[in-house]
Amino acid sequence: MSELLDHNAAPSCVHVEAGTYSIGNDSIPQAGPRHQTCLKEFWIDASAVSLAHLEVFIASGGYFESRWWSDSPQGGRAFLDSGSIDKRCIGIHMLSNEVTKRMNPRPRFSREVPAVGITWMEAAAVCRFFGARLPFESEWEVAMQTDEWNNSTGTAQAKKQMSRCGCELHLGLLEEWTAGAFTTRHWRGVDSFEFAAVDAPYGVCLRGSTRESLFTDTAFRSSGDPRDPREFRGFRRVWCEAPTYDQLSIDFRGGHQ
C-alpha cells in the first residue's frame, strides 16, 4: 500500500499507492456514509510540518513572495495580527512549543516541533514553497487509517500511534488543515478535488482532533475559518510525484525556489 521515504535523515514522507479505498464512518455525524473512493498515487508528510520547515520558508522571504499566495491576493501579511514578521514568528513558536509539551515534555529541536497557530493561507503558502499542496480530505483519511476501528464518543484522548501507511497520528492533539471546503455531507466533500476559497460558506475542512473534540476516529470532520490561527491546528504537505531531497529537506542551503 505504501512505502516510507527518508532522504538522508530529512523529514520523511509516505507514498500511498493509487487504488480504491474505503472511507467514512456511519457512527459519526457528518462522516457517513462509509463508502469507497478512488485515489491517484500521492506522497504525504509522515508527520505534521515542523517549525524547521517554517523557518526555511520565512528565512527565504516567503511572506513577501506573492507567487506563494495565489489564494490570498493581498499576500500573507494581510493575515497577520501585526505588521511585524518577527512578532508573528515569535507567536507561532510559543504556540508550537506549548503543543509539543503535550506530546513529549523533553526539549526538542525545531524539526521535531509541529508548526501550529497558523492560518490556512499560511499553510497553503508553505506547501507551495516546497513544491507541494495541502491534502484533500480523502487523501488525508486514507493516509491516516489504522487497523484499529475507533468509535470514540467521549472527549478525545491523545493517542500516540502510527497509521497503516506509516504516518504519525496526532489524534487528540492536533487538527490539520486540508485543501477543500467543508461540506455538511461527507461524500460531497471527500470525493471533491477542488481547492477551497477563502470565503467558502462553511469554511475549510479540518481533519484530526483535539482534546476538545468528541471523536478521535480518523473519519472525524470539522470546519474552520481559514483566517483563524488556532494553537492546535497543523498541516501536512502532499506531492503528486515523489518529492526531491530539497523539497523534504530543512537545510537552509537547499533552495526551494
Phi-psi region of 2 (alpha: psi -120 to 50; beta: other; left: phi over 0): beta
Task: Give this prediction's pTM.
Answer: 0.85
CATH 2.60.120.260 is right for the domain spanning 2-248: no
pLDDT at 155 over 60: no
Neighbours of 178 (CB within 10 A): 31
Q: What is the mean pLDDT of residues 130-154?
A: 81
According to the model, what pLDDT value does residue 153 have?
39
Q: What is the mean pLDDT of residues 162-176?
A: 92
pLDDT at 174 over 80: yes
According to the model, what pLDDT value does residue 156 have?
47
According to the model, what pLDDT value does residue 227 have?
86
Q: Which residue has the higher pLDDT, 241 or 59?
A: 241
Whose CA is closest to 141, among 4, 248, 35, 3? 35
According to the model, what pLDDT value does residue 204 have?
94
What is the pLDDT of the chain when averaged over all its residues? 81
What gap in Å lies between CA 8 and CA 106, rounded to an integer? 24
Q: Which residue has the higher pLDDT, 181 or 81?
A: 181
Inter-residue contact 143 to 165 (CB < 8 Å):
yes
pLDDT at 177 over 90: yes
Residue 213: phi, psi to the nearest 5?
Answer: -75, 155
| Beta-strand relationship, 221-224 and 204-208 | antiparallel
Alpha helices for 2-156 (secondary structure H): 51-59, 85-103, 120-129, 137-144
The SS3 of residue 132 is coil
Q: 188-230, pLDDT tens digit by residue?
A: 666 678 888 888 889 999 999 998 888 989 999 999 999 888 8
Q: 88-105, pLDDT tens digit by residue?
A: 777 787 777 777 766 666
Enumerate the domain spans of the chain. 2-248
Q: What is the mean pLDDT of residues 132-152?
A: 83
Q: To 10 degrees, the CA torsion angle through 44, 111, 130, 92?
A: 110
